[in-house]
Amino acid sequence: MTNTILNYLSNSSAITYIVLALLSLYLIITFWIFLYRYFALASMLKNEQKSLESLTSRDSSFSPLSQLNKCTSGIKSKELLNACEINIIKDASSGISWLAIIASTSPFIGLFGTVVGILESFAKFSSHSKVGFSIIAPAISEALVATAAGIFVAIFAYTFHQIMTRKVYELNTYLKAQSEILIAKG
């Protein structure tokens, strides 16, 4: 396995190195955004869930840990609650659009690397008088590694984007429910 990877890298061009480096960077950014935002959102969701449970229980108090409570600072008008909801969701969803960008662009970056690899392979074969499938197949399969890497990165980015979008939706639901209760209670 290691020998195959080293052989692939030794036969690769500068474009392939750039494509694989960029996809590696994309993968690192994807995991960093996911881990950082996931734990921040999980904490926010936990606090908002407790706050909603507190509002719907007998004591009917607004949790001091709630982002909505911190934002309104005691004043509970419909307009202020709505503005706070929007601001909290905006902050909670920061970075998620990068996951969508990475998910949509990484396969194209990988495809670019594959096309360049195939073009370079055909350029090498132009000097040969006879080229058979046994010579072309390994060169093309090496070129397809870039596409596979792009798809690999896209799978993680898209999956993490969907998870984070769902978490933001849940947070929005908790915030809206709290706002409705506070407005109803006047």
**pLDDT tens readout for residues 79-109:** 888 898 999 999 999 989 999 999 999 999 9
Give CA angle at 129 (126, 131), nearest 5°. 75
Rounded average pLDDT over 141-161: 92
The number of CA neighbours under 13 Å toward the Cβ of 78 is 5
Helices 78-92 and 145-185: crossing angle, nearest 10°? 160
Cα 179 to the chain's mean position, in Å? 29
Q: What is the pLDDT of residue 154?
A: 97
Q: What is the pLDDT of residue 4?
A: 65
Q: What is the pLDDT of residue 80?
A: 87
Question: Could you tell me which residue, 46 or 142, shows the higher pLDDT?
Answer: 46
Total of domains in the chain: 1
Give CA angle at 30 (65, 163), nearest 5°. 55
- Cα dist from 8 to 46, 128, 143, whole Å: 48, 21, 9
Question: Could you tell me which residue, 170 or 130, shows the higher pLDDT?
Answer: 170
Domain holding 86, by residue range, is 2-185
Residue 64 pLDDT greater than 80, yes or no: no
Q: How far apart (Å, rounded) are the C-alpha atoms in residues 92 and 95?
A: 9
Q: How far apart (Å, rounded) are the C-alpha atoms in residues 152 and 158?
A: 10
99 within 8 A of 157, measured Cβ to Cβ? yes
Tally of residues, the chain: 186
Question: Could you tell me which residue, 168 or 119, shows the higher pLDDT?
Answer: 168
- Cα dist from 164 to 34, 78, 92, 133, 137, whole Å: 8, 27, 9, 46, 41
Write out pLDDT tens, residues 4-54.
666 666 666 778 888 889 999 999 999 999 999 999 999 999 999 988 888
Residue 180 pLDDT greater than 70, yes or no: yes
Question: What is the token pair recorded at 142?
Answer: 């090496």
Helices 133-143 and 145-185: crossing angle, nearest 10°? 30
Q: How far apart (Å, rounded) are the C-alpha atoms in residues 149 and 110?
A: 6
Mean of per-residue pLDDT scores for the chain: 86
